[in-house]
């Protein structure tokens, strides 16, 4: 590997314990992790980028080799290149995620030359998604156990 820097990208709307499992595992594999908070043209977000960045920073407290940045004005390939990344890390929960991420990994490799490393979700967390958490929030159902400690208060403010 040329260097030991990786990027983890997502909308993180909101950040979940599943996301954090991937961030922690990636942080144990790479010297530096940049978490990029992106927008997705196919998704209407519940929380604005400021809240999503703040929530991810809160969730990453104590992970000294993880840096969180807003990346809503760039592409993943450009973000990764600008940070000197040798890898993009993606979490996959199932075959549908894998199919989607493989296509994106091929595009990102073509554009940037940066490879994608895919980490399988921990089985106990594989059903958790931001969509699921947003639905729980929308319908007033308990969602706190699906998001990292300390993030709930921030989400409730917004």
Residue 83 known to be catalytic: no
Active-site position among 24, 93, 122, 126 = 93
d(CA 53, CA 69): 7
Active-site position among 19, 52, 57, 134 = 19
Residue 19 known to be catalytic: yes
Active-site position among 43, 82, 103, 138 = 43
Residue 43 known to be catalytic: yes
Residue 158 known to be catalytic: no
Active-site position among 49, 58, 130, 134 = 130
What residues act catalytically?
Answer: 19, 43, 93, 130
């Amino acid at each position: 590997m040329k260097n030991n820097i990786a990027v983890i990208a997502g909308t993180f709307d909101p950040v979940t314990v599943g996301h954090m499992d991937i961030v922690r595992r990636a942080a144990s594999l790479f010297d530096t992790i940049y978490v990029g908070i992106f927008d997705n043209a196919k998704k209407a977000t519940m929380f604005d980028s400021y809240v999503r960045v703040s929530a991810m920073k809160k969730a990453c407290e104590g992970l000294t080799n993880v840096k969180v940045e807003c990346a809503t004005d760039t592409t993943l390939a450009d973000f990764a290149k600008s940070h000197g990344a040798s890898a993009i890390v993606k979490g996959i929960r199932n075959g549908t995620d894998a199919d989607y991420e493989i296509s994106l990994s091929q595009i990102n490799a073509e554009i940037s030359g940066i490879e994608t490393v895919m980490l399988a979700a921990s089985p106990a967390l594989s059903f958790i998604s931001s969509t699921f958490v947003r639905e729980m929030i929308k319908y007033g159902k308990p969602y706190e156990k699906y998001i990292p400690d300390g993030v709930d208060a921030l989400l409730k403010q917004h």
